[in-house]
Amino acid sequence: LKFHPFFVVSAVAMSMTDAEKRKAPDDAPAGEKKDAAAPEAKKLKPTPADPATVRKQVEYYLSDDNLKHDKFFSEKIASDADGWLEMSLILSCNKMKSMRTSKDDVMSALKESKLEVKEDGSAVRRPGNAPLPKLEARPQHHQKKNTAHAHDGGAVVVVKNVPAEQSWTHIKEKLAEKLPGKVTPWHVSEVTDNGSCFVVCPPFSGDLALLEALEIEVGGAKLKCELCYGDVLQGMLKKLPKHIREKREKESRKKQKERNRPIVVGNQRFVNVGALRGKVKEIMNSRSDGESLKPEGSDFKLIKALLDYHPKGPEKSKGMIGLKVGKSTQGDNRCFFMVREGAPDEDVSLKKCIDAVELNPPYVTVE
Of 264, 282, 284, the residue nearest 273 (C-alpha)? 264
CA distances from 357 to 11, 265, 294, 328 (A): 61, 9, 24, 23
The stretch 361-367 carries a mean pLDDT of 79
pLDDT at 326 over 60: yes
pLDDT at 7 over 80: no
Instruction: Please name the helix (run of DSSP H) or strand (run of DSSP E) that holds residue 34, with its range, or none.
Output: helix 32-37
pLDDT over 90 percentage in the chain: 57
Note the pLDDT of residue 107.
93
* Cα radius of gyration rounded to whole Å, the chain: 28
pLDDT at 4 over 90: no
pLDDT at 24 over 60: no
Distance CA 200, CA 248 (A): 9
- Within 13 Å of residue 314, how many CA atoms lie on the same side as its CB? 0
The stretch 126-148 carries a mean pLDDT of 74
With left for phi above 0 and alpha for psi between -120 and 50, is residue 195 left, alpha or beta? left
Reported pTM: 0.45
Confidence band of 97 (pLDDT split at 50, 70, 90): confident
The stretch 352-361 carries a mean pLDDT of 87
